[in-house]
Structure 1
Amino acid sequence: MASSFVLPHELHGSGPHKVVAVHGWFADRGAYAPVVPDLDRSAFEYALVDLRGYGGARDAGGTYTTAESAADVIELADRLGWERFSVIGHSMGGSVAQRILALAPHRLRRLVGVSPVPASGLPLPPEQWELFAGAAHTPENRRAILDITTGGTRPAAWLDRMVERSVAVSDAKAFRAYLDSWAGEDFHDRVEGATVPALAVTGALDPALSADLMRATWMDWYARAELAELPACGHYAMDETPLALIRTVEDFLRADGPHV
């Protein structure tokens, strides 16, 4: 049960605007490490979380779905005393963020997806599905996915390091189960028409979670949607262009003023 489990997390900052940051499929909360030193700690307080099957929750049981993850995040917000908060989600974490919108729209100040998986899921052709499904147990598949989604432009050593980190911080069974959830589940009818301000940040070098895909999904569903494309970036903005990401996201977050 979500109510009996506390997501491992770390807090940064002491500002009045509370923000939960949810990692993607390939990483734990360490995915946000490149941006942590330069966050605005006076305006925001960030909670970086590990989902079940990752990092400090690597051995935690569960169904390993985006819906379960969303319930876990809301439970953590309750324990932190955060009645209202914003959420940032990268890739799979973007799906989790939209699940939170579906579950508790009144709790959210603002929603940010960084290369977010749409709430409609991400149907993959058979060859791609085989590549992604095999990534749970085959590091070479993870490396190929990293290379493809960063436009084939990143150094080999970085790809290797990202793969090593991904394998080290994720449980293979959970990793594989999450794929079925984020790629295969369509819940966009539960969020369509939502009025929470919602920013999608994409990387121009990412062929999968592209600005065009966001225009056909995110921008169409959300009444107060915005789209920002980072020109020299692929799927992993935290690593590839951390300063541009911080500026884009925090400018959006502070746009609703200092009120809680």
Structure 2
Amino acid sequence: MNQLNQVGQGPLKVLWLHGLFGHAQAWGPMVSCLNTALFSHVFIDWRGYGRRKQVPGRHDLTEMAEDALALADQLGWAQFAVVAHDVGALAALQMLSMAPQRLRRWSAIAPVPPSGLSLSAADSAFYANAATQSDVRRSLLDLATGQRLAGPWLEHMVRQSVESATSSAFGDYFRACTHSTVAAQAGWASPALQVLAGEFDGLLPDALLRRSWLSGHPDAQFEVLRNAGHFPMEETPVVLAATVERFLCA
């Protein structure tokens, strides 16, 4: 984990955990909107993704949490904030179960429910095909953004997703989304939590996120990002950066 993707040198430390379709350098135009004087933002690649595409691993939630904590150790961060997207939120929960004293506060963007995705057998089989079939990835991206965004953007997202991750890693992390046991382990003890839902997210709508996340953490700050789907870092980057950083400063 020596090729760090870092933005800013500020005193407040933030570790960013990407989702299934992302990687450390795929946070979109939002990155240019971040406060680099107040924050030090570091973006991780999961094993099998981005600069760590060729690093072997189990591709499970425990390994994700271990790698994130190891990166914080490498950086010399005793305490830090976390921003997690999609399946990254499950890794953040696993981090809380392993080292709750280290997370100062954390923000979950379009997070997979703590208990995992609840899918029918047919949907699960279809979604699993996204590991090897680009047309399925495109369909999921289109659904996740409310079937309202331009084709060239969807194709760009598919292309960068395919190029930046191995199919085996993508498939394994998808299975982690559907077989999560982390909720029972984490115990919800904890630092302040922000949950951000996308208004047009067809995969993880705000009603599902309210029900699944607030039932375990009723004090969480919940907000719906208007005019965004599952990828607000691409869809509403200025608003996302401001919303997250405002929370992390509190």
The TM tier, using the shorter chain, reads over 0.9
* Superimposed CA distance per residue, residues 75-98 of structure 1 (whole angstroms, 9 cap, x where no aligned partner): 010110000001111101111111
Match of 1:154 in 2: 149
Query: Structure 2 CA distance, aligned partners of 1:112 and 1:99?
Result: 14
* Count, aligned residues: 250
Q: Which runs of at least 4 in structure 1 moved beyond 3 Å after TM superposition? A: none
From 45, 50, 53, the counterpart of 1:50: 45
* Superimposed CA distance per residue, residues 33-69 of structure 1 (whole angstroms, 9 cap, x where no aligned partner): 3111111111110101111000111111000012101
Q: Is the 8 A contact 1:7 1:57 kept in 2?
A: no
Segments of 5+ residues of structure 1 without an aligned counterpart are 1-5, 256-260
* Superimposed CA distance per residue, residues 216-238 of structure 1 (whole angstroms, 9 cap, x where no aligned partner): 12112125311110110100110
Give the SS at the match of 1:11: strand
Q: Does 1:130 align with 2:125?
A: yes
How far is 1:7 from its partner? 6.5
How far is 1:175 from its partner? 0.8
Query: Structure 2 CA distance, aligned partners of 1:119 and 1:172?
Result: 24
Give the SS at the match of 1:168: helix
Query: Structure 2 CA distance, aligned partners of 1:223 and 1:103?
Result: 22
* Superimposed CA distance per residue, residues 180-207 of structure 1 (whole angstroms, 9 cap, x where no aligned partner): 1122122212223322100111101012
Query: Structure 1 CA distance, aligned partners of 2:50 and 2:71?
Result: 16
From 163, 166, 176, the counterpart of 2:158: 163
Give the percent of matched residue pairs that are identical in Structure 1 and Structure 2: 35
Query: Structure 2 CA distance, aligned partners of 1:50 and 1:246?
Result: 20
Match of 2:109 in 1: 114
Counterpart code for 1:184: H
Q: Is the 8 A contact 2:110 2:230 kept in 1?
A: yes
Q: Is the 8 A contact 1:204 1:232 kept in 2?
A: yes
Query: Structure 1 CA distance, aligned partners of 2:13 and 2:2?
Result: 16
Q: Is the 8 A contact 1:211 1:227 kept in 2?
A: no
Query: Structure 1 CA distance, aligned partners of 2:220 and 2:127?
Result: 29
Counterpart code for 1:211: D
Give the SS at the match of 2:55: coil
Q: Is the 8 A contact 1:9 1:50 kept in 2?
A: no
Counterpart code for 1:250: E
1:29-44 to 2 correspondences below 5 Å: 29-44=24-39
- RMSD, aligned CA: 1.3
Query: Structure 2 CA distance, aligned partners of 1:47 and 1:76?
Result: 9
1:60-139 to 2 correspondences below 5 Å: 60-139=55-134
Query: Structure 2 CA distance, aligned partners of 1:135 and 1:21?
Result: 24
Match of 2:9 in 1: 14
Query: Structure 2 CA distance, aligned partners of 1:144 and 1:159?
Result: 9
Query: Structure 1 CA distance, aligned partners of 2:130 and 2:5?
Result: 28
